Structure 1
Amino acid sequence: MKRTRRRKTHNNDSIFPMTVDELKKLITGKFENNHDFEFSIYEHHGKKIAVFFISYQVKTDKVEDFLLKPLLSKQGEWTSKSILNEVPLDTGSTTETLETILEKLLIGEVFVYVENDVEIVSYVLLKKEHRQLSKPENETVVLGPQVAFTESLITNLNIIRWSIRSTDLVLEKLMVGKRSPREVRIVYMKSIANETDVNTMRQRIKDLEIDQLEDSTTLMQYIEDSSTTIFPQFYSTELPDRVAYTVSQGRIAVLVENSPTAILAPSTLFSFFESTEDLYMRWNVGSFLRILRFIAMFISVVLTPLYVAAVTYHYELIPLRELITLGQSRAVVPFPPIIEAIILEFLIELLREAGARLPTKVGQTIGIVGGVIIGQAVVQAGLTSSILIIVVALSALSSFTAPSYLMGTTIRVIRYPMILLAGMLGIIGIMFGLCFLLIHLLKMTSLGRPYLSPIYPFRWVDLNKVLFRLPANYQYKRFFSFRPKDLLRYNKSEAVKKQDIDE
């Protein structure tokens, strides 16, 4: 059966024709001391045929059964054209340049060259190793799909295709990296996504001049609007359903080969406190949980600094009975409140980091038992007060409510300068820190879009998409602040029709 010949690469830098021995010397010189590189030479009807590939990257059984056997069993002479037409593989293509040959070799293609031919034939027989689909680890959910991305880009793209079954879905391919190219995909809905956002994302990725790209989170740092801010400007997720929902709303997703996370852009500060579970719950319950996360964020940032400010400068803020208890608790503490708070915050971070790095069961034990034992020992040793332990534990617990790990870490880091300001200037220092954060957030952008949208600039119609949720039949518009091409998700008047069938 004849095979359809694929696109041929034309280039003025063609290295062919040449002898097989010359080709072997040229290619093996590029893979010196690489024992996985295989270059075999066969004699067929008086002509030499070269077959070469990197063994651990290809399916060697298919090379033997579907390539070598047909090559060596034919009675007539081979040419590149006849190989493409008669070898029972449909992934064949031809090329003429050394640069393209080396690129294809590194991604697992097998090359066949007939001596003195004007082009060389290659076949994709890639062998990829990747883990199976599993539950998300960093963004655990109770309701909704229980599947996470893997390191296989093909698998991740298939999952998105299963979720968004539309010809309108675009999976644009780019290559990033000079020495070690890696495939990057820009995912968006052609009839919904804002063209300016798509062009901006495409241009930022194309302009990268780097040796290699390690991960999607690394790419995120290269293409973000500001590299000096502590706040993440793009959302990083391992949940395919979140990517599908975000893309259907008119935003952009970026996936990177060998990375189990996707980048979502543009993003706002409020995006980092939204969970996919909010969509699967009743609107009033989802709104309550979302508001709870915002309150928890504020508590995490200001609670410990407020304790330090009140104990250091503002005793009048503490009720009299509580002040007596606090004075008795702090009577044996040798440190000022600011040092006491920083020590405890540092201990909490040590326990959290140790629990994250150790095996799961051991990490949970360290987090619970270590926290109880160390906390009790610190109080008995007189190094801190028992009330501060409660305050610091509540602040740490509040930071864990953020669905985004990156934002949760940012909140924990912000506490330290806030504690220092509270220890030096009291309530005035806390207000100074909050005003600085607000001004900083007002200046930030994500892919050119305001980071505090829809609060600034104020968009009343978008508040029900970030601060709270309304019933499903009122969610018929997309996020206006991101300027999608199609603002309406569905026809409201048709969607709310409810008809009973009388029996």
Structure 2
Amino acid sequence: MKKAKRKATNPLFPIKVEKLKQTLEDQFENSTDLSFTIFENAGQKLAVFYLSYQVNSERIENTLLKTLLESQKEWTVESVLNEVPLNTGQKMDKLEELLTNLINGHVFVYIEGEKQVVSYLMLNIEQRSLTKAETESVVIGPQVAFTESLVTNLNILRWRMRSKDLVFEKIMLGKRTPKEARLIYLKSVANETDVNTMRQRLQDLEVDEVEDANVLMQYVEDSSLTIFPQFYSTELPDRASYAINKGRVGVIVENSPAAILAPTTFFSFFESTEDLYMRWNAGSFLRVLRFISMFISVMLTPMYVAAVTFHYELIPTQLLISIGQSRANVPFPPIFEALLLELLIELLREAGARLPTKVGQTIGIVGGVVVGTAAVQAGITSNILIIFITISALASFTAPSYLMGTSIRVLRFPMIILAGILGIMGIVFGISFLIIHLLRLTSLGRPYLTPIYPFRMVDLNKVLIRFPQQFQGKRFLSFRPKDRVRFNKKKANEKKDIDE
């Protein structure tokens, strides 16, 4: 074992140019995109090799090859580094390092007989232009979203956060298909324990490849069995910069248009960046509305099923008469009726999301109206239940986080089943289980329900409602940031006369 490891780290050079070409062709299984060109000058052999689809060929011709072929000096590693007008030149002599950089868009220059090879980064980056976010639409505030280009995403964050304390720590993920990731945090604010924990989880990850930031999030989160997301995934650079400024840790991955934010709380998934850009009382109202919507989405249909099945005494007389009339021709029990309609809503939502935009909107509207009307006329379901199902579905879409909204929609199904089997006791049992489960969850080692549990009065003005900015002089203290103070609260509250 030790001999094999020592052999793998031995330098590859010096080596004959023809032997080097054969070695690379064997490594890439004679891939057609491997370009290997040999030049001769005064008895010297020089090889230039790269993956043609990964590099900027025009830049190679005009900058690298033109300089090398017009040079009157003897070719050496030092002369190449000194004469080629590129500042990305570096030396290397290990085969594994060479192969990794070759895949990542490096161009290599090897002079036969030398003990090192020279590489230049000339990656040809294919990227889409900056657009609006698809999964996190906002009305007020910045509209730009992350793209699949890691360089572009880093530039956006650096442009938004012009601080010398901002750290972009490079970490490679995946053994078979390596991808570059960046651990992002403010050195003077972020808690060192959170940074070290996230760094360790990323470095200890043993997988062949990481397809996307959302896949990475599932690998490194605290619990993989829960339905609730423990890290926040966002497409919005302003949300990422806002969280990092508050002391949280961010992770972005190459080829992924999303950033991971941690640690986070259950309440963070109901906060929107729009809450910051509007008046504090309007922002607080919308935030409370989202919490109420979550409760309605999870509880409204199960309460209907429990009341109609077991607890008629809970329903007012006039409403009970209407429900009885609407259900007179329905042959199914309420639990089956509710599950059928909930499944229908999910089918329409999924079909609308997967079809092209214009067709998807048509399917969602026409399908809901036509199928709902036909179901009532056929006596399969009651019109009152359709109203409750529609309200529950609308309430679930108010969550700013798509992942949390999906979790809430899934929770309705077990709650309906419990309500149809045990009535109110089933709903109480389900709520109790959810609360116990949430109390046990953590995000990067931090309690998921903070600041409710453990209770911290000082942080309540940052989660349930939003107070005016002058009353938010401190950061979220439950996550123990290094710098607890955002600004001097006394100076912010001072009212100075305009003539002073």
Fold conserved between structures, TM > 0.5: yes
* Deviation, structure 1 residue 73: 1.6
Alignment partners' CA distance in 1, 2:231 and 2:73: 59
- Equivalent of residue 206 in structure 2, options 191, 196, 209: 209
Out of 17, 23, 30, which is 2:14 matched to? 17
Structure 1 match to 2:166 = 169
State the partner residue of 1:433.
430
Per-residue deviation, 1:67: 1.0
Please report how far the alpha carbon of residue 12 of structure 1 lies from its aligned counterpart in structure 2 after TM superposition. 5.6
How do 1:350-429 and structure 2 match up within 5 A? Answer: 350-429=347-426
173, 178, 201: which one pairs with 2:175? 178
Shift of 1:76: 2.7
Q: Give deviations 1:245-296, integer Å, cap 9, x for gaps.
A: 1001011111111100000100100000000000011111111000000000
| Partner amino acid, structure 1, of 2:60 | V
Partner of 2:260: 263
Distance 1:274 1:489 in 2: 20
Give the count of matched residue pairs. 493
Shift of 1:18: 1.0
Superposed CA RMSD in Å reads: 1.0
Matches within 5 A, 1:165-314: 165-314=162-311
Which position in structure 1 is the counterpart of 2:335? 338
- Which residue in the other structure is 2:483 paired with? 486
Aligned-partner residue type, residue 463 of structure 2: V
Equivalent residue, structure 1, for 2:449? 452
Counterpart amino acid of 2:375? V
Letter in 2 for 1:193: A
Secondary structure of 2:18's counterpart equals: helix
| Superposition deviation, residue 472 in structure 1 | 1.0
2:460 to 459, 463, 476: 463
Q: Residues 134-184 of structure 1: CA distance to partner in whole angstroms, max 9, x if unpaired?
A: 111110001110100000111111111111111011111100111111111
Q: 1:149 is matched with which residue: 137, 141, 146?
A: 146
| Separation of aligned partners in 2, 1:488 and 1:175 | 34
CA distance in 1, matches of 2:31, 2:150: 27
2: CA distance, partners of 1:430 / 1:76: 84
User: Is the partner of 1:489 in helix, strand or coil?
Assistant: coil
Structure 2 gaps of 5+ residues are 1-7
SS in 2 for 1:42: strand
Give 3-state SS (helix, strand or coil) of 2:50's partner: strand
Letter in 2 for 1:417: P
How far 1:495 sits from its partner (Å)?
A: 1.7
CA contact (8 A) 1:45 1:76 kept: no
1:54 — aligned with what?
51
How far residue 323 of structure 1 moved from its aligned partner, in angstroms, is: 1.0
Aligned equivalents of 1:182, 1:248: Cα separation in 2? 26
- 1:496 positional shift: 2.2
CA deviations over 1:369-420 (Å, ceiling 9, x no partner):
1111110011011100000000001001000000000000000000000000
Whole-Å Cα distance in 2 between the matches of residues 351 and 12 of structure 1? 56
What is the SS of the residue equivalent to 1:135? coil
The 5 A counterparts of 1:487-502 are 487-502=484-499
Q: In structure 1, what is the Cα distance between the partners aligned to 2:30 and 2:323?
A: 70
- Structure 1, residues 122-143: CA drift from partner, whole Å, max 9, x if none? 1111101010001111100011
Describe the superposition over 1:227-251 as per-residue Cα deviations: whole angstroms up to 9, x where unpaired: 1111000000000000111001011
Gaps of 5+ in 1: 1-10
Q: CA deviation at 1:90?
A: 1.4
For 2:86 and 2:162, locate their aligned partners in 1 and report how far apart those are by CA, in whole Å. Answer: 29
Per the normalisation by structure 1, the TM-score is: 0.97
The CA distance in 1 between the partners of 2:327 and 2:99, in whole Å, is 69
* 2: CA distance, partners of 1:399 / 1:354: 17
Q: Deviations over 1:183-233 (max 9, x none)?
A: 111111111110000000000000001111100001100000011111000
User: Distance in 2 between the 1:398 and 1:76 partners?
Assistant: 74
Indicate the residue corresponding to 1:64 in structure 2.
Answer: 61
C-alpha separation in 1, matches of 2:196 and 2:72: 54
2:161, 2:75 → 1: CA distance?
A: 45
Q: Aligned to 1:81, which of 60, 74, 78? A: 78
Cα 1:46/1:141, change in 2 over 3 Å: same
**Letter paired with 1:498:** K
Report the CA distance between 1:493 and its aligned residue: 1.2
How far is the alpha carbon of 1:328 from its aligned partner? 1.1
Structure 1 position 319 matched with structure 2 position 312: no
What's 2:4 paired with? none
Of 23, 26, 31 in structure 2, the residue corresponding to residue 26 of structure 1 is: 23
SS class of match (2:100): helix
Q: What is the distance in 2 between the residues matched to 1:184 and 1:56?
A: 22
Q: Which amino acid aligns with 1:339?
A: F
Equivalent position amino acid for 2:377 in 1 = Q
CA distance in 2, matches of 1:344, 1:205: 42
Displacement of 1:27 after TM fit? 0.8
Shift of 1:337: 0.3
Deviations 1:399-458 (A, max 9, x none): 000000000000000000000000000000000000000000001000000000000000
Shift of 1:497: 2.3
Q: Secondary structure at the match of 2:53?
A: helix
What letter corresponds to residue 80 of structure 1 in structure 2? V
Q: Which residue of 2 aligns with 1:37?
A: 34
The CA distance in 2 between the partners of 1:91 and 1:300, in whole Å, is: 55
Amino acid at match of 2:100: E
Structure 2-normalised TM-score? 0.97
CA distance in 1, matches of 2:30, 2:382: 63
| Partner Cα distance (1:41, 1:448) in 2 | 55
Q: Look up the match of 1:6.
A: none
2:88 maps to: 91
* Correspondence for 2:112: 115
1:56 match: secondary structure: coil
One-letter amino acid of the structure 1 residue matched with residue 488 of structure 2: N
User: Which residue of structure 2 lines up, in the alignment, with residue 8 of structure 1?
Assistant: none
- Which range moves more in the overlay, 65-74 or 210-219? 65-74
